[in-house]
Amino acid sequence: MDFTVALAQIKPKLGCLADNLAVMEAAVARGIEEKAGLVLFPELALTGYFLKDLVPEVALSLDSPEIARLKELSRHIAIAVGFVEVSPDYRFFNAALYLEGGDIRHLHRKVYLPTYGLFDEQRYLAQGERFRAFDTRFGRMGLLVCEDIWHLSAPYILAMDGATTLLCLSSSPGRGLSAEESLGSTAAWQKLTATTAMFLNCRVLYCNRVGYEDGVNFWGGSEVVDPSGAVIARGRTFEEDFVLAVIDEGALRRERIFSPMMRDENLFITMKELRRIERERDC
Amino acid sequence: MDSRVNTKLLRKVLVGFIREEVEKVGLRKGVLGLSGGIDSALVAFLAAEALGPENVYACIMPYRTSNPESEAHALLVAEQLGLNYRVIEITSMVDAYFELFPEADQMRRGNKMARERMTVLYDHSAAFSALVLGTSNKTELLLGYGTLYGDMASALNPIGDIYKSHVWQLSQEMGVPEVVIRKKPSADLWAGQTDEQELGFTYREVDELLYHMVDLRFSRAELVAKGFAPAFIDLIYGKVQNSHFKRRLPVIAKVSNRTIDRDFRYSRDWGK
């Protein structure tokens, strides 16, 4: 079905759950007003990104009042949001929820925690262990958190699992200044979202944050990419924005007729070869 | 190194940095030392754009041996931008101290001047509720060509990740007066001193090397293959290594389970 998506390109305050929740409530209200069916927030939108030792202090269990509030809001508009989840056995995850109709439809725990360069996620966070597509009122979707989408297998698995819409929540630090028009990180991401959409005949809904934390900028540029890889809406760079786009079901149908790569994708060959590689690696 | 960078984009990121990091702590103002040189002139331009010139306090702090041209250039920048500024001569404070130590060499005197200026800036920070803006560029920081707790001290440094070569470019973009851009960089501790003469190489040469060594992580063999002289590589590597203490907080002896900055880790923007 056709629906309107909103990308809430916000500027979370580091470690301030109540403030960030208030910003989200305002964005949700705006989404409802604009008749959007789904609103996306960035990775760790409830908490901010460079949390370090704050992780346990800002972590929420799935039965926390904050999550209950977001569930409540999702009666009016579906919500995808990033936060820190604490599990009953006290592991802390960089997690994302897809909420709809007052319920949690899907929980994704970030699998690929970058720990290199300016990143240090594995020091503070536990690794997620699955990629699963899930059904929503807008069709089957997959949910990824930032670095996840840099691993080809992640969106591939979700697409093979039937997802036709990939949601990617991000807190991407801007870096790599050169003579080019964009920062290196911006250019790389734009290439990545378009290529992922094109390879997998999926829409990619990318929501990135803005603002600065300890001198690191987050560049924004949230985008809606159609299944051909064409960008149909893009947020401003470095500034807060609220990106609205109409998702056209027909565009997905037509793309899958023109370029039926996913139809032809051979799961049997892929599995056979991956099993062989796994076997050979063991020796 | 990309000999040219996108200065419009760089300007946007740095202006946003100053504005957001100042406002985050609940303030609206910045204070900086204007030396008459290009680095502090550039920071003044960035700060004026980020905060409004009326919210930028510039301290011009000559010593009796400073080149009078430096003060003139600092005044030129402050007046062109419409900053709040004041000339605060540090001669009496510095000389009072060295009356006790007349044998002190040039380096001790230079460091004392840099630290005297720092105390003036931090006093203005408290007086005007303004954050101290740093003016050390990436080249200086990597070479350790600055005074610890002197000119290296600040609350926010907008240009600390920018090589001198790019300071020149961004200064053009921002409209820093040509006379400031074109003159030879100098610490201005004594008449006729220039950075490049004292360092023994040019900023362009060392920036090219540092960019490959630090940013691109070329190995020594790769740097030699790229055409850098082995002696120059070793000299610069040594400078970076030996000045590393200047880029770190003081070392704390660990005895507890949670030691500040080692296993007690929070961003500075914690709660901001």
Q: Are A60 and A28 in contact (CB under 8 A)?
A: no
Which chain A residues are within 8 Å of B12, Cβ to Cβ? 238
Verify whether the Cβ–Cβ distance A214 to B267 is below 8 Å.
yes
- pLDDT score of B2 more than 70: no
Confidence at residue B18, expressed as pLDDT on a 0 to 100 scale: 98
Confidence at residue B187, expressed as pLDDT on a 0 to 100 scale: 87
Q: Element (H or E) spanning A135, and its range?
A: strand A134-136
Number of CB pairs < 8 Å for A and B? 63
Rounded to whole angstroms, what are the CA distances from A109 to A1, A85, A90, A155, B245? 28, 8, 14, 14, 39
Which chain B residues are within 8 Å of A215, Cβ to Cβ? 17, 21, 156
Distance from CA of B72 to the nearest CA of A (A): 32
Percentage with pLDDT > 70 across chain A: 100
Confidence at residue A200, expressed as pLDDT on a 0 to 100 scale: 98
pLDDT band at A62 (very low <50, low <70, confident <90, very high): very high
Which chain B residues are within 8 Å of A212, Cβ to Cβ? 16-17, 20-21, 24, 269
Q: Element (H or E) spanning A141, and its range?
A: strand A139-145
Mean pLDDT of the region A52-78 = 98
Confidence at residue A283, expressed as pLDDT on a 0 to 100 scale: 64
Mean pLDDT of the region B263-269 = 96
Percentage with pLDDT > 90 across chain B: 96
pLDDT band at B3 (very low <50, low <70, confident <90, very high): confident
Is ipTM > 0.90 here? Answer: yes
Task: Please write the tens of the pLDDT for every residue from A225-267.
Answer: 999 999 999 999 999 999 999 999 999 999 999 999 999 999 9
CB atoms within 10 A of CB B123: 13
Please tell me which of the candidates B4, B12, B270 has its beta carbon nearest to residue A179. B4
Verify whether the Cβ–Cβ distance B270 to A14 is below 8 Å.
yes
- Scored b (16 or more CB within 10 A) or e, B206-243 reads bbbbbbbbeeeebeeeebeeeebeeeebebbbebbeeb
Compute the mean pLDDT over every residue in chain A, rounded to the nearest whole number: 97
Task: Please write the tens of the pLDDT for every residue from B87-105.
Answer: 999 999 999 999 999 999 9
Please tell me which of the candidates A174, A180, A213 has its beta carbon nearest to residue B269. A213
Which chain B residues are within 8 Å of A213, Cβ to Cβ? 267, 269
Which residue, A207, A218, A210, A215, is CA-closest to A174? A218
**Phi, psi at A83, each rounded to 5°:** -160, 175
Confidence at residue A220, expressed as pLDDT on a 0 to 100 scale: 98
- The whole domain housing A128 covers 3-282
Q: Which amino acid is at A270?
A: T
- pLDDT score of A282 more than 80: no
Q: Domain spans of chain B?
A: 7-247
- pLDDT score of B70 more than 70: yes
Confidence at residue A5, expressed as pLDDT on a 0 to 100 scale: 98
Confidence at residue B190, expressed as pLDDT on a 0 to 100 scale: 75
Confidence at residue B45, expressed as pLDDT on a 0 to 100 scale: 98
Percentage with pLDDT > 90 across chain A: 99
Residues, chain A: 283
Taking CA atoms, what residue in B is nearest to A49? B267
Question: What CATH number corresponds to the domain at position A121?
Answer: 3.60.110.10
Taking CA atoms, what residue in A is nearest to B18? A215
Distance from CA of B270 to the nearest CA of A (A): 6
Mean pLDDT of the region A180-202 = 98
Task: Please write the tens of the pLDDT for every residue from A106-131.
Answer: 999 999 999 999 999 999 999 999 99
Task: Please write the tens of the pLDDT for every residue from B12-39.
Answer: 999 999 999 999 999 999 999 999 999 9
- Total number of domains in chain A: 1
Architecture of domain B7-247: 3-Layer(aba) Sandwich (3.40)
The residue whose two tokens read 């060295």 is B98
Which residue, A75, A81, A40, is CA-closest to A62? A81
Please tell me which of the candidates A16, A53, A178 has its beta carbon nearest to residue B6. A178
Task: Please write the tens of the pLDDT for every residue from B228-253.
Answer: 999 999 999 999 999 999 999 999 99
Separation of alpha carbons B2 and A183, rounded Å: 13
